Amino acid sequence: MKKTKKNITIDGPAASGKTSIGQKVASLMGYKFLDTGLMYRAIALKSLISSLEVYEEDKIVELCHRTDIAFNTNTKEILVDGENITDQLRERHVDQRVSLIAKLPNIRKVLVSQQRVIADRNDIVMVGRDIGTVVLPGAKYKFYLTASLEIRAERRYKEFTGSKTKILYDEILFEMEERDRVDKSRKDSPLKPAKDAVTVDTTEMVFETAVGTILNVIKGTIT
Ligand code: CDP
């Protein structure tokens, strides 16, 4: 009989620490890791390259079917049509488009079904916006990571420092707030904590404490 795989879900707003914390939890537990945001980012980038407008949903769905997304589930890297474009996916023009693409129900359908196949085959930590609510509602451990908007903008600002992108803190804060607003208010799979998710507010937590909090919940020391 097929053994059921163990899934851990982590959802939360932009730059709440899902990727770094999720990856660490996965490596400590010997689980795979998947950042589903990169899938939406890949389609957003390809739609820009193909000069598609966000209202051209059918064409973007076609694009989605034609796009080969492969993961190295041990790292946060992603291969899109055989190419490692993980860094490009984090650029600002992708940030500005991705939520508008992620609102489209038919795009979500395609990507969610791919995410479920991956979860079905692996013990995995999967991070995103709707993983606990929609993609894997039966997962045993669910987390909702959050932090104040100012702290999240500061973290993202630091990530951009040293990269090619020159951007002001205020611009990051404004764009992040707008992206969160779109993600929380969309009709299909809005960002919200699953009813059975444990919320971890990392505003005043260092990275190690956030990882430890999640591991403690999993190990059952906190219920
Ligand atoms: O890294 P950051 O938290 O800024 O964003 P991300 O996780 O890379 O996600 C980028 C965008 O993809 C989000 O703002 C959502 O619009 C969308 N997304 C989604 O709708 N559902 C997911 N499961 C993951 C991401």
Mean pLDDT, range 61-73, rounded to an integer: 90
In a domain, 162, yes or no: yes
**Residue 53 exposed, middle or buried by CB count within 10 Å (0-12, 13-18, 19+):** exposed
In a domain, 63, yes or no: yes
Percent of the chain with pLDDT over 70: 93
Of 34, 129, 152, best ligand 1 pocket probe by most atoms within 8 Å of the beta carbon? 129
In a domain, 213, yes or no: no
Q: Is 1's pLDDT higher than 60?
A: no
So what's the pLDDT on residue 74? 64
Of 92, 98, 158, best ligand 1 pocket probe by most atoms within 8 Å of the beta carbon? 98
Q: Is the CB of 22 under 6 A from ligand 1?
A: no
pLDDT in tens, 169-215: 999 999 999 999 999 999 999 999 999 999 999 999 999 999 999 99
- 221 CA from centroid of ligand 1 (Å): 30
- Residue 127: give the domain boundaries: 7-202
In a domain, 157, yes or no: yes
Residues near 160 by Cβ (< 8 Å), separated by ≥ 6?
167, 172
So what's the pLDDT on residue 205? 94
So what's the pLDDT on residue 78? 85
Ligand 1 atom closest to 90 (CA): 8
So what's the pLDDT on residue 87? 86
pLDDT in tens, 82-115: 999 888 998 889 999 999 999 999 999 999 999 9
pLDDT in tens, 32-58: 999 999 999 999 999 999 999 999 999
pTM of the model: 0.94
pLDDT in tens, 117-169: 999 999 999 999 999 999 999 999 999 999 999 999 999 998 877 666 677 89
Residue of 191, 190, 150 whose CA lies nearest to 172: 150
Amino acid at residue number 160: F
Of 9, 38, 40, 118, best ligand 1 pocket probe by most atoms within 8 Å of the beta carbon? 40
Number of Cβ within 10 Å of residue 151's Cβ equals 18
So what's the pLDDT on residue 165? 64
In a domain, 220, yes or no: no
Q: Is there a contact between 134 and 192 (Cβ–Cβ < 8 Å)? A: no
CATH of the domain at 36: 3.40.50.300
- 29 CA from centroid of ligand 1 (Å): 24
**Both tokens assigned to 39:** 């899938």
So what's the pLDDT on residue 164? 63
Return the residue whose CA atom lies nearest to atom 15 of ligand 1. 99
In a domain, 2, yes or no: no
So what's the pLDDT on residue 159? 82
In a domain, 115, yes or no: yes
**Residue 64 exposed, middle or buried by CB count within 10 Å (0-12, 13-18, 19+):** buried
Domain count, the chain: 1
- 40 CA from centroid of ligand 1 (Å): 7
Q: Is the CB of 99 under 6 A from ligand 1?
A: yes
